[in-house]
Amino acid sequence: MQKERVHMAILSDEYGGTAGLVTVEDIIEEIVGEIRDEFDIDEINEIRKLGDGHYMLDGKVLIDQVNELLGIHLENDEVDTIGGWFLTQKYDVEQYDSIIEEGCEFIINEIDGHHVAYIEVKKLAFDELLETAEQKEA
């Protein structure tokens, strides 16, 4: 890329199809780590703490981050984000739909079409878990 003075290249896979786009900056960042420049947009805080064990999560937060944050073990081999995970649990969703999993209540706080924008999550106390179980049985 340096020899040809090219800053971008198209990657192809073993079948000759397009696999992606790579820049010189991408290659350098793989070697030395993240490089901040004037074109980088500051990321919005994806996880906001609302209280003890109570968070607002951007739908793009990785499942692994949620697991680490809450000390739980959500798993799904098909998706990477908490918004995607919610949709695999309950596909036809509306605002304020909720799921209780691993002692936590996940509530859709904002949805845009079929994209989960924000999820509120609360770690439930033992008595709240019992109350929820009793409501399901009724």
Sorted by sequence, the CB contacts under 8 Å of residue 59 that are 6+ apart come out as 81, 82, 83, 84, 86, 115, 116, 117, 118, 119
Mapping DSSP onto H, E and C, the string for the chain reads: CCCCCCCEEEEECCCCCEEEEEEHHHHHHHHHCCCCCCCCCCCCCCEEEEECCEEEEECCCEHHHHHHHHCCCCCCCCCCEHHHHHHHHCCCCCCCCEEEECCEEEEEEEEECCEEEEEEEEECCHHHHHHHHHHHHC
Structural domain 47-137, CATH architecture: 2-Layer Sandwich (3.30)
CA distance to 11, 12, 126, per residue, from 15 (Å) = 11, 8, 54
> Given this model, what pLDDT does residue 81 score?
93
CATH code: domain 1-42 is 3.90.1280.20
pLDDT in tens, the chain (138 residues): 889 999 999 988 888 889 899 999 888 888 988 776 656 655 556 899 999 999 999 999 999 999 999 999 998 888 999 999 999 999 889 999 999 999 999 999 999 888 899 999 999 987 766 666 666 666
> Given this model, what pLDDT does residue 34 score?
73
Among residues 107, 75, 104, 73, which one has the least CA distance to residue 90?
A: 107
pTM over 0.85: no
Instruction: Specify the domain boundaries for CATH 3.90.1280.20 within the chain.
Output: 1-42
Site of tokens 């609360």: 122
Instruction: Specify the domain boundaries for CATH 3.30.465.10 within the chain.
Output: 47-137
> Given this model, what pLDDT does residue 71 score?
93
Distance CA(53)–CA(69), nearest Å, equals 9
> Given this model, what pLDDT does residue 133 score?
62
